[in-house]
């Protein structure tokens, strides 16, 4: 359903058109001349304006020019008799989206309107996407100057210059995504999109249409054409996260795009050509999956043109001081708060820990330390140490036991702060998860702030 403004000086024409569109389920406003139309345009937003060309007072062309000043993004379709087709062509040069020749039937009009609205929708989608891409392309440095990371960085610079497919491997949280963005930034594609798809998160059929798109009616629920990630990433980079999880049928299709740069949308026989650099990640043993027949060998070799291995954080403890400083300065910038220092002993404690969650775990821990450290000057080892579960220690449960026997108020504060932390400070999500109102949450935080037990911007 769309909001449509119809402008025509002939009552019969206008009324029957309005009736047709209302029957189609649209919301229609009718105006009998250009001046009234402009007035309506100023009052509310329309998705589409359908205007006659020849009208008294103001012609359709003049109306088009004025309407573009008020609603530059609204598509305008002109209705014209045969004699004025030439003018309609002129109008399209001036920004009209399309024209329809009188007399026309309902079906013709319906198709035109659908096409126009779909085009406008795609334009908005593109704009949003471009915004997302820009924010995603914001530099996120790969921190760490230890020998291993230096080697990784050199490889990224080299591979950036090529179009080769890259396979990045390493345990969870070691920075595979950061590294793939770094490759994109190091390449000539840096001004083009960088998109990511998590292959483990979707079922086979959903993943297929996510990657390759689908035609309208390709399957139940496919009520409009959808462009897939390969199309959207054209000229740029596509990150396929957790590639080992991709089903056999899709492995074949993926191999084809990698080899021929060609694919079809689901439900279409039209072959599309794209130019996309693919980066794949995996934290599983792919050779083993190949050996077990779960992952195609030819695809494995095609992906593994340039391998990059990210080591576990415990194997590069020398990078920890830099990482800690990096996260602290990120937090300070984000919260517009002074930089929190950390005492050398605390860093040594961190360097001894085994980091099962790797860099992600370190990042979360620093975030927690900034929130919970009561010493305003510096983050202390004694604050951090109790949070680090040494190997062999019971997982889970222990956190709760630590709270047993504590005043309820303190327990509540602990739960609220760790939930806030989990949702990156997002109050609406935090309140939702805790089953309390956002205002209640806000009041509690305000109270802690007043007594200096909580720092936030």
Ligand X SMILES: Nc1ncnc2c1ncn2[C@@H]1O[C@H](COP(=O)(O)OP(=O)(O)OP(=O)(O)O)[C@@H](O)[C@H]1O
Binding positions for ligand X, rule: CB under 6 A = 140, 142-144, 170, 172-178, 283, 326, 359-360, 363
Q: Which is nearer to ligand X, 143 or 305 (CB)?
A: 143
Stretch that binds Mg ion, among 20-28, 172-180, 296-304, 429-437 (CB under 5 A): 172-180
Q: How many CB atoms lie within 10 A of CB 65?
A: 13
Q: How far apart are CA 63 and CA 68, in angstroms?
A: 8
Nearest 5°: the CA angle 46, 50, 56 is 115
Burial of residue 219 (CB within 10 Å: 0-12, 13-18, 19+) is exposed
Nearest 5 degrees, angle CA 168-CA 169-CA 174? 100
Place of tokens 């709270």: 403
Pick between residue 177 and residue 234 the one whose CB is nearest to Mg ion: 177
177 touching Mg ion, by CB under 5 A: yes
Determine the interface stretch with Mg ion among 6-14, 62-70, 170-178, 377-385 (rule: CB under 5 A): 170-178
Our CB check for ligand X shows the closer of 55 and 280 to be 280
Closer to ligand X at the Cβ: 142 or 381?
142
- Find which of Mg ion, ligand X, none residue 142 binds, CB within 5 to 8 Å per kind: ligand X
| Spatial distance between the Cα atoms of 299 and 340, rounded to a whole number of angstroms | 47
- Six-digit token string for 264: 């079809």
Nearer CB in complex with ligand X: 57/424: 424
- CA dist 250 and 211 (Å) reads 10
**For residue 72, how many C-alpha atoms fall within 13 Å in the half-sphere facing its CB?**
2
Stretch that binds Mg ion, among 104-112, 141-149, 171-179, 417-425 (CB under 5 A): 171-179
Collapsing DSSP to helix, strand or coil, 52 comes out as: strand
Residue with Cβ nearer ligand X (143 or 164): 143
User: How is residue 223 written in tokens?
Assistant: 């009520």
CB under 5 to 8 A by kind: which of ligand X, Mg ion, none does 389 bind? none
Q: Nearest-CA neighbor of 242 among 292, 201, 287?
A: 201
User: Smallest gap, in angstroms, from Cβ of residue 97 to Mg ion?
Assistant: 41
Q: Which two tokens stand for residue 91?
A: 């109008």
Q: Which of Mg ion, ligand X, none has residue 34 at its interface (CB below 5 to 8 Å by kind)?
A: none
- Identify the three-state secondary structure at position 456: coil
What minimum distance in Å lies between the beta carbon of 89 and Mg ion?
A: 51
CB 362, min distance to ligand X, A: 8
What residue has token string 């389920």? 25
Helix (H) or strand (E) holding 369: helix 358-372
Specify the residue, 240 or 257, whose C-beta has the smaller distance to ligand X.
240
Stretch that binds Mg ion, among 92-100, 175-183, 205-213, 360-368 (CB under 5 A): 175-183
Chosen from ligand X, Mg ion, none, partner binding at 268 (C-beta under 5 to 8 Å by type): none
3-state secondary structure 22-44: HHCCCEEEEECCHHHHHHHHHHC
When asked if residue 98 is in the footprint of Mg ion (CB under 5 A), the reply is no
Asked if residue 67 lies in contact with residue 49, where contact means CB atoms within 8 angstroms, the answer is: yes
Residue 228 binding: pick among ligand X, Mg ion, none (C-beta 5-8 Å cut-off by kind): none
Whether the Cβ atoms of residue 243 and residue 282 lie closer than 8 Å to each other: yes
Question: What is the smallest separation between the CB atom of 192 and ligand X, expressed in angstroms?
Answer: 21
Q: Report DSSP state, residue 236.
A: S
Q: Which is nearer to ligand X, 59 or 281 (CB)?
A: 281
Number of residues that bind Mg ion (CB under 5 A): 2
User: How far apart are the C-alpha atoms of 264 and 225, rounded to whole Å?
Assistant: 13
Of 177-185, 218-226, 260-268, 447-455: span binding Mg ion (CB under 5 A): 177-185
Cβ 174 to Mg ion shortest distance, Å: 9
Distance (Å, rounded) from C-alpha 113 to C-alpha 49? 10
Contact between 318 and Mg ion per CB under 5 A: no
174 binds, among Mg ion, ligand X, none (CB under 5 to 8 A by kind): ligand X
Q: Tell me which residue has its CB nearest to Mg ion.
A: 177
Q: Nearest approach, Cβ of 357 to ligand X (angstroms)?
A: 8
By C-beta, is 261 or 330 nearer to ligand X? 330
Residues that bind Mg ion (CB under 5 A): 176-177
């Amino acid at each position: 359903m769309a909001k449509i403004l119809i402008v025509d000086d002939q009552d019969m024409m206008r009324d029957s058109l309005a009736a047709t569109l209302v029957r189609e389920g649209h919301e229609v406003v009718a105006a009998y001349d250009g001046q009234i139309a402009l007035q309506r345009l100023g009052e509310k937003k329309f998705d589409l304006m359908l205007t006659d060309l020849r009208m008294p007072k103001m012609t359709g062309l003049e109306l088009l020019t004025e309407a573009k000043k008020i609603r530059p993004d609204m598509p305008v379709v002109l209705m014209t008799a045969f004699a004025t087709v030439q003018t309609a062509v002129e109008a399209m040069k001036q920004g009209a989206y399309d024209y329809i020749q009188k007399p026309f039937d309902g079906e013709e009009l319906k198709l035109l309107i659908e096409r126009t609205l779909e085009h406008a929708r795609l334009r908005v989608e593109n704009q949003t996407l471009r915004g997302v891409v820009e924010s995603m392309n914001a530099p996120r440095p790969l921190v760490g100057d230890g020998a291993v990371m230096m080697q990784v960085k050199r490889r990224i610079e080299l591979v950036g210059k090529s179009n080769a497919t890259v396979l990045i491997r390493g345990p969870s949280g070691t920075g595979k995504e950061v590294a793939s963005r770094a490759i994109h930034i190091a390449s000539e594609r840096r001004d083009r999109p960088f998109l990511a798809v998590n292959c483990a998160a979707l079922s086979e059929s959903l993943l297929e249409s996510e990657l390759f798109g689908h035609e309208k009616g390709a399957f139940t629920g496919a009520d409009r054409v959808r462009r897939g990630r390969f199309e959207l990433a054209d000229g740029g980079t596509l990150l396929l996260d957790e590639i080992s999880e991709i089903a056999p049928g899709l492995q074949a299709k993926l191999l084809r795009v990698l080899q021929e740069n060609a694919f079809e949308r689901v439900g279409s026989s039209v072959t599309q050509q794209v130019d996309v650099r693919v980066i794949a990640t995996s934290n599983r043993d792919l050779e083993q999956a190949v050996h077990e027949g779960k992952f195609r060998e030819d695809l494995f070799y095609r992906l593994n043109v340039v391998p990059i291995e990210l080591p576990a954080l415990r194997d590069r403890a020398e990078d920890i001081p830099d990482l800690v400083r990096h996260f602290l300065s990120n937090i300070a910038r984000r919260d517009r708060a002074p930089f929190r220092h950390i005492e050398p002993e605390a860093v040594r404690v961190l360097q001894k820990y085994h980091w099962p969650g790797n860099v992600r775990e370190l990042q979360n821990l620093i975030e927690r330390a900034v929130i919970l450290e009561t010493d305003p000057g510096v983050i202390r080892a004694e604050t951090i140490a109790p949070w680090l579960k040494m190997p062999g220690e019971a997982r889970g449960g222990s956190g709760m036991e630590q709270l047993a026997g504590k005043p309820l108020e303190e327990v509540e504060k602990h739960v609220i702060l760790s939930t806030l932390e989990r949702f990156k400070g997002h109050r609406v999500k935090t309140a939702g998860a805790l089953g309390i109102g956002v205002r209640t949450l806000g009041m509690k935080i305000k109270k802690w702030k007043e007594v200096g037990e909580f720092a936030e911007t």
